[in-house]
Every structure is written in C-alpha cells, then in structure tokens.
Structure 1
Amino acid sequence: MTEQDAYRAAEDDPAKAETNGSLGARLEAILRHGEDLVMAEIAYQKARVGFGWSRGKRVVAFLALAAAFGGLTLVALVVGLLIALAPLITAWGALAVVGLGLALLSFLCFRSAVTAFRQARSVVVGEGPDRAVVAREGAE
C-alpha cells in the first residue's frame, strides 16, 4: 500500500490509518476529525445559546407581566384596606395605619437588601466573608 492509499484510508476511517498508513497520514486524519468535532461542538453550542435566548425572552416577558399584576394586586389590597378600615377608625386613621404598615414593610425589605448586598460585596471583594453565611447560601 502506498502512502497516498494510506492517506485516503486515514481520511475515510482513522482506525484504518492505524494499521495501514504512515505517521503523517494518521496525524492528519486525527487532526481532520478533530476539526470536524470542534466545528460540530461549536454549532451545537450556538444552537443551545439560540434556544436559551429565545426561552429567556419569554421568561423576561412573563416576569414583567407577573410584576405588573403583582403591583396591581398590591394597589387593590391597599385600596381595600383603606375602604375596610375607614368606617372603623375614620379615613385619616385608615390612611395612617395602612401607610405606616407599608412604610414598615418597605424598611424591612430595604434593610434585608442592604444586608444581602454587603454580604455579596464582602465575598466578591474578599474582605473576609462570613464563612457560615457563604456555606448556608451555597447549600440552598
């Protein structure tokens, strides 16, 4: 078998190259098949990203709708509380109770957000993170 025949065999099937061809033909066949594998993997990853991107757009749209409906629900709850409490403690009293309740909830959410931000910043910057918090967050 000539070197050219071995090269053709290596081009068709790398297993034949092991038995029939020169080292150069074998290496070239391996490189050619490796190239094909890399190109196939790149095409596969591009398809995965495209699929994920299309699904991601749907997720964002549904999250925006959920946030809008959640906001409308909160407005309805506040108005309902005001209407329900007005006969019991006057309109101004109902406004004060509902307003203070919302302010308290806002403050608690803000404080939790600041705490979470400080913990995340200390982990990223490396200012000696609390290892228990990092371990607990990683376990969830």
Structure 2
Amino acid sequence: MTAPTDEKYGPAGAANPSRQAGAPHESGAQSAFSSESHAGSGAAGSEAGADSHPLRDDLTALIDDGLTFFEAELNFQKSRLSFVIDCAKKVAAYGVVALVLVLLAAIGLTVGLILCLSPLITPWGATIVVVGGELAIAYYCVRHILTKVKAISAAFKKEEDASE
C-alpha cells in the first residue's frame, strides 16, 4: 500500500520542493518517496498506479462484495425457510396422528366404561352415565374457553379505549 500523496505536498504531507518549484511531473519515473520506501522492489509505477486508481474501482468492488454477501444471505435464508417448512410439515403430520390416537383412546375409554358399568346399572344406564359425564366435562371446557375469550376481548377493549 502506498502513502497518500497530492500535487502540492507530496508523500505524507511533506513539502516537495521539486513540484513547488515548477518542475515537470515525473511520469513513469520513480519519485523520491518511492525509491526510499521501495528501494529495489521494482515499484516504479506504484505511485502512478495509486494516483490513477479511481474511487470508482473501489466502489465497484464494494458493490460486488455487497452483492456477494446479499446472495449468500439470501441462499442461507432460503435454506433456513426450507428447513422450517420441512419441520412444520412433520409437526403437522405428527399432530394429526396424535389427535386421531387421542380420539380413538377416548372412544375406547367410553366403550370400556359402558361395558364395565353395564352389569351394575343396565346398559342404557351405563351409556347415560358415561355420555352425561363426558358432556359435563365438555361443558366445563367450553365455559372455561368462553371466560378466557371474554378476558382477552376485555384486554383489547381497554387498549382501544386508552388509545382513543
């Protein structure tokens, strides 16, 4: 990397008498700074190359790097989304299977309770007791759901009233 230069002060802000005295610009020749810092390294055009290196090249490289980063990030997010969708499909499938099995277990429990209670209180009595118990549990669950829904509605109404 070469030190910054300008026409008036030369390398690193030092006074450059040859340029101040109106000496012609050294094109292609090694300057005093180049020969001191790069002695024998063959850097004859390094200062001229640094001066002619436009900002446009740096900006182009920056944009290219940004696009590369953007593409990599986009590919990462695509693979991440693919993974999440795959997992969501499996969760849904296992959830449906679990729900079906719970339903079958509830049916089995209902039939079993009816069969067990039949000798004690006739088959019709056992059916009424078991179905009545299940309906009572369902009623309790529905009441609990309605209470929670009303609480949620009240919370949103309070927010709406406060914002108005």
**TM-score w.r.t. length of structure 1:** 0.68
User: Cα RMSD (Å) of the superposition?
Assistant: 2.1
Residues 114 and 88 (structure 1 numbering): CA distance in 2 closer, same or farther, change over 3 Å? same
Equivalents in 2 of 1:89, 1:47: separation in Å?
62
Shift in Å at residue 25 of structure 1? 2.3
Corresponding residue for 1:107?
139
Q: How many percent of aligned residue pairs carry the same amino acid? A: 30
1:76 and 2:93 correspond = no
Unaligned 5+ runs, structure 1: 2-19, 130-140
In 2: Cα distance, 1:32 partner to 1:118 partner: 56
* Whole-Å separation in 1 of the counterparts to 2:154 and 2:81: 32
Matching of residue 57 in structure 1 with residue 67 in structure 2: no
Aligned AA (1:128): K
Relative distance call for 1:71 and 1:35 in structure 2 (3 A) is same
Of the candidates 65, 69, 75, which is equivalent to residue 37 of structure 1? 69
Displacement after TM superposition at 1:121 (Å): 4.4
The Cα offsets for residues 53-81 of structure 1, whole Å up to 9 and x where unpaired, read as 12211111111111111111000000000
Is the alpha carbon distance of 1:122 and 1:53 closer, same or farther for their aligned partners in structure 2, counting shifts above 3 Å?
farther
- Aligned-partner SS, 2:59: helix
Q: Which runs of 5+ in 2 are unaligned?
A: 3-49, 160-164
Equivalent positions of 1:1-140 (< 5 A) are 21-122=53-154, 126-128=156-158
Structure 2 residue matching 1:109: 3-state secondary structure? helix
Query: Which structure features the higher share of helix residues?
Result: 1
For structure 1, which segment, 84-93 or 73-82, has the greater mean C-alpha deviation from structure 2 after superposition? 84-93
Normalised by the size of structure 2, how large is the TM-score? 0.59
Please state how far the C-alpha of 1:102 moved relative to its aligned partner. 0.5
Distance 2:113 2:67 in 1: 67
Does the C-alpha gap of structure 1 residues 85 and 57 become closer, same or farther in structure 2, counting only changes over 3 Å?
same
Q: CA 1:119–1:23 in 2, change beyond 3 Å: closer, same or farther?
A: farther
